[in-house]
Structure 1
Amino acid sequence: MNVLIVRGGWDGHEPVACTEKFREFLESRGDTVTVAESLDVYTDKAVLGAADLIVQCWTRGDLTAEQEDGLVERVRAGAGFAGWHGGIIAFGYQAARYQFMVGGRFVCHPGGIIDHTVEFTGEHPITAGLESFAVRTEQYYCHVDPSLTVLATTTFDGGYEEPDTAGVVMPVVWTRRFGQGRVFVSTLGHSPADLDVPQTRTLTERGLLWAAGRLPAN
């Protein structure tokens, strides 16, 4: 399998350190991994056409129309697309086709780094055997598409001067079919340490495999 990792943007999410964790995982399975540190790769038809899975870790910034068209059409044609945290949903706010493909966008994280719980919903190959777990990281409040397949949620308590969020159940992990492609999104993964939490690491690894078509659709 050919994997394209696209990383860059705001360095606060440590895109190099975070993606290297999963580069090692993918290469250990025999995959060929190409790394791009420019969004212009989305205009390279040869590189995109060879990619079975695109892993994006690029917080902030936007896509040109040509970049957006290249990426969206490649996923629609069958490539998997996967990412975590701001690297996938705090990006491309002006790119409507990208936003539609991903199915969600970051709005805020009241309180910053806080304790909260991740709850699993239903049965899915990505979450099989996992149980709800506590984390201490950013609790992402997002705007999300109602058609998503939600695999995990978190419940806001209305604290941190945001009382209107009390009781809101927010997706944390979701999948989406987009044309012939599969999209996997996790809001977890603010830092390399967050990605080392065993449940988060397992979710992310399985999400990459699912997006690449290596796990059953459901």
Structure 2
Amino acid sequence: MRIDIISCVPRLLDSYFDHSILKRAKEAGHAQVIIHDLRDYSENKHRQVDDYAFGGGAGMVLGIEPIAKCIRHLQSFRIYDEILYMTPDGDVFDQRTANRLSMTKNLIILCGHYKGIDERVREHFITKEVSIGDYVLSGGELPAAVVSDAIIRLIPGVLNDETSALTDSFQDNLLAPPVYTRPAEFEGLKVPEILLSGHEKKINDWRLEQSIKRTQERRPDLLK
């Protein structure tokens, strides 16, 4: 998989992809993440990529020219399955969407900034608008990192145990069950005996029961 992220503040993303699972995924060749500085596509001598909104109002808007130039440049090398735009008014990102996107080959993620982007970009270049929640951030860089993380960890070979991703919360509309590790007892607090039994079927049944119980208590909306 290849993910191209377009940002006007690309250094915000540098460290996120250089550690832990995402770093190993890149080093093993399972995924490429290339971050593009939108200012490199500006024709303004000051590398400006934003301007005032027509009609007035507070805030600056990312212009269509550098964005179109960057996207067209990337498209000249490969076909992209989706061009995502990170925006609070997009479709809320969930595990089902992550699963679908993990099956694609090439993605572009455009990070918004300031007051957003010229509407013509959304109308003519973007194939899917994505939100990570009903709140506003300073830019789309963190959401782009979140989406990339959720997608890449699903690619076969990225996790040491490929079944790990299949048992994550939301994969089957259930929250994950509680988990424990050593020691089996700490200050009188004990791990449930069933998990120490070695009986695989009983353990799996217990985990399913706990998942249903936890979902009913914390996210009953998922069971609908």
Instruction: State whether TM-score is above 0.5.
Output: no
More helix as a share of residues: 2
More strand as a share of residues: 1
Look at both structures and tell me which one has the larger radius of gyration over its CA atoms. 2
